[in-house]
């Protein structure tokens, strides 16, 4: 059965709309590394996290009201509310502490590609925690991907193994472990996705508020840094999640939509160069190509299987 017949069978799916939602999400993802650096130029990572999380909670609450799903926030079980507390300590708290810390120490062109390796970490962690099988292709993908990490982290001085900022690199790679762990735990989450994320952020917010008060205080800059932090909360933490959810729901072939994510890191370098004025090193391009190639290899079997299923429909 062809894809046209699939649309007739399931009118809620529309590949064209899915691609548009996916492209909008990728565009937003491509701008956030630049926004991170603009905010961190005048704010401590924990201050930026407090502002961004607050903005994200407000925008997700508004989205739920506009969609008529606000009442779902109050219809969960005790276990689900406790889950919100646990997941909220991971995302936004721990994950963004690591991620913003990495961007605070590293150039955006280095921190951003390193963060993209989370998908590979997810595949590896799924073996012991979800009982999935590690394929030979996963091992090859890992070697290719982390070769790219070494190229970027050493700024091309691979043989010296002298990292430009070991702590920053550690934070960037640590964020991938935290993010992958979050998604593994989230596989047991049967809540509405936006409701779940809203409650996770709401439960994590007091911890961030306390951490900010005990460390950096509440004197925030105005102008571009504050606007950039709000932008991160509204779009990176909020709107992009909703748009990507729509893309997945509308997709007749999720593999084709998923391929759009490979555009993001390269487009991000355009914004980093044009807005931040960073001179993009040749080692960044080489390392990023290796990382994306590794991720492409790791996801290849999944894409082939999903494409076959789509054609069968």
CA distances from 35 to 217, 244, 282 (A): 22, 20, 23
0.85 cut: is pTM over it?
yes
- If you average pLDDT over every residue of the chain, what do you get? 90
pLDDT of 3 strictly over 50? no
CA distance 164 to 110: 10
- Is 43 part of a structural domain of the chain? yes
Each residue's pLDDT tens digit, 114-138: 999 998 899 899 889 888 888 888 8
Q: Could you tell me which of 138, 118, 116 has the C-alpha nearest to residue 127?
A: 138
% of residues, the chain, pLDDT over 70: 92
Helical residues (DSSP H) of 131-253, grouped into ranges: 136-153, 166-186, 193-215, 224-231, 240-250
- Is 6 part of a structural domain of the chain? no
pLDDT of 62 strictly over 60? yes
Q: Is residue 307 exposed (0-12), middle (13-18) or buried (19+ Cβ within 10 Å)?
A: middle
Averaged pLDDT, 182-203: 92
Domain encompassing residue 180: 15-312
Residues 6+ apart with CB under 8 A from 227: none
- Is 284 part of a structural domain of the chain? yes
- Is 282 part of a structural domain of the chain? yes
Each residue's pLDDT tens digit, 5-60: 444 456 678 889 999 999 999 999 999 999 999 999 999 999 999 999 999 999 99
- Is 7 part of a structural domain of the chain? no
Identify the pLDDT of residue 30.
Answer: 96
- Is 4 part of a structural domain of the chain? no
Averaged pLDDT, 85-107: 97
What is the pLDDT confidence band of residue 106, given thresholds at 50, 70 and 90? very high
- Is 154 part of a structural domain of the chain? yes
- Is 45 part of a structural domain of the chain? yes
Per the structure, how many domains does the chain have? Answer: 1
């Amino acid at each position: 059965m062809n894809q046209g017949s699939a649309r007739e069978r399931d009118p809620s799916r529309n590949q064209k709309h899915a691609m548009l939602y996916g492209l909008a999400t990728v565009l937003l993802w491509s701008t956030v590394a630049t926004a991170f650096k603009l905010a961190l130029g005048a704010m401590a990572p924990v201050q930026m996290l407090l502002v961004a999380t607050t903005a994200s909670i407000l925008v997700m609450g508004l989205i739920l009201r506009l969609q008529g799903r606000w009442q779902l926030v109050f219809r969960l079980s005790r276990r689900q509310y406790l889950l919100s507390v646990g997941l909220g300590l991971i995302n936004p708290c721990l994950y963004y502490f690591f991620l913003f810390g990495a961007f605070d120490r590293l150039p955006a062109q280095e921190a951003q590609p390193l963060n993209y390796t989370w998908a590979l970490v997810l595949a590896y962690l799924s073996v012991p925690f979800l009982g999935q099988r590690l394929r030979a292709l996963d091992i090859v993908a890992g070697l290719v991907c982390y070769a790219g990490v070494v190229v970027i982290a050493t700024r091309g001085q691979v043989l010296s193994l002298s990292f430009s900022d070991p702590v920053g690199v550690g934070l960037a790679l640590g964020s991938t472990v935290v993010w992958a762990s979050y998604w593994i735990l989230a596989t047991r989450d049967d809540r509405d996705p936006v409701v779940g994320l809203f409650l996770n952020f709401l439960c994590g917010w007091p911890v961030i508020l306390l951490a900010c008060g005990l460390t950096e205080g509440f004197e925030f800059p105005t102008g571009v840094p504050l606007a950039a932090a709000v932008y991160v909360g509204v779009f990176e933490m909020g709107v992009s999640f909703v748009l990507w959810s729509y893309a997945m729901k509308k997709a007749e072939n999720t593999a084709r939509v998923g391929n759009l994510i490979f555009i993001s890191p390269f487009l991000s370098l355009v914004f980093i160069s044009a807005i931040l004025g960073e001179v993009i090193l040749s080692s960044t391009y080489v390392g990023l190509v290796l990382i994306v190639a590794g991720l492409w290899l790791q996801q290849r079997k999944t894409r082939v299987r999903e494409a076959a299923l789509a054609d069968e429909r």
